[in-house]
Structure 1
Amino acid sequence: MRGARISVDAGHLVGLNKIMDKSQALDTVFAALGDPTRRAILSMLLEDDMAVTDVADPFEMSLAAISKHLNILSRAGLISQERRGRVKWCKLEPDAMRDASIWMQGFGQFEAVNLDAFERFLRAELPDES
């Protein structure tokens, strides 16, 4: 239908914008989590805040490369960085993963089936055919 116009109210557009903003935030979080180095950094920060140099120690890469990873994590909201004196510190921001976690929980209905429990259920429910 060429030339047809669709009427959209302002409330619908606001809702659509919120969905798109949340989608973009999820994209950023999942992109940041898609790298094994960044996941390892997040695991390290589970214990405590760390200086950037301490974060870099276990990795065989330059401090500049680690800084790039940290900036990606910061942009995703997964960590925060602050300067304390001459040292830059990193802190895990677990709330940033909340939306990603909620989104993934929607797929919980597809958990693996416990076949042993299913077999016991069937034996209890179905009549013995012998």
Structure 2
Amino acid sequence: MNYQCWAETFANMLEKDPFRPLLNVLELRGLLNDRIREEFRSGEEYWALERKLCRALTHKMEISIKDVMRAIHLKSFDYRVLNLLLYQLRGQEVICFVVKVNDLHMEFLSVSEFLVEISDDLLHCRMTY
């Protein structure tokens, strides 16, 4: 297989199932669980919303505040995945091969991530304009 063919195959795979390589590694190491899968689905939803919003803005179409708010909430899915992995790697309580996650802590992180995203956007706007 030549380089161009391999690159096209890889790009195709990443477009159709972008998290597959990472999911395979996590599964192989026994770190993949339903909660992490759910966060990766959030990431796919975020990227789809981001493309939708960018396309609408590019074509000067109206965008939905609901879509913007949902995208902001989903944007930090990668941090949630990292936090869930840290729970596992730190040997947090495991029940039936599922890590017991402190839901209150995860909710706090979600609100914190939301505020950080807004802060980053405001700083970016300030620096741009």
Normalised by the length of structure 2, the TM-score is 0.33
> Larger Rg: 1 or 2?
1
Query: Higher helix share goes to which structure?
Result: 2
Query: Higher strand share goes to which structure?
Result: 1
Normalised by the length of structure 1, the TM-score is 0.33
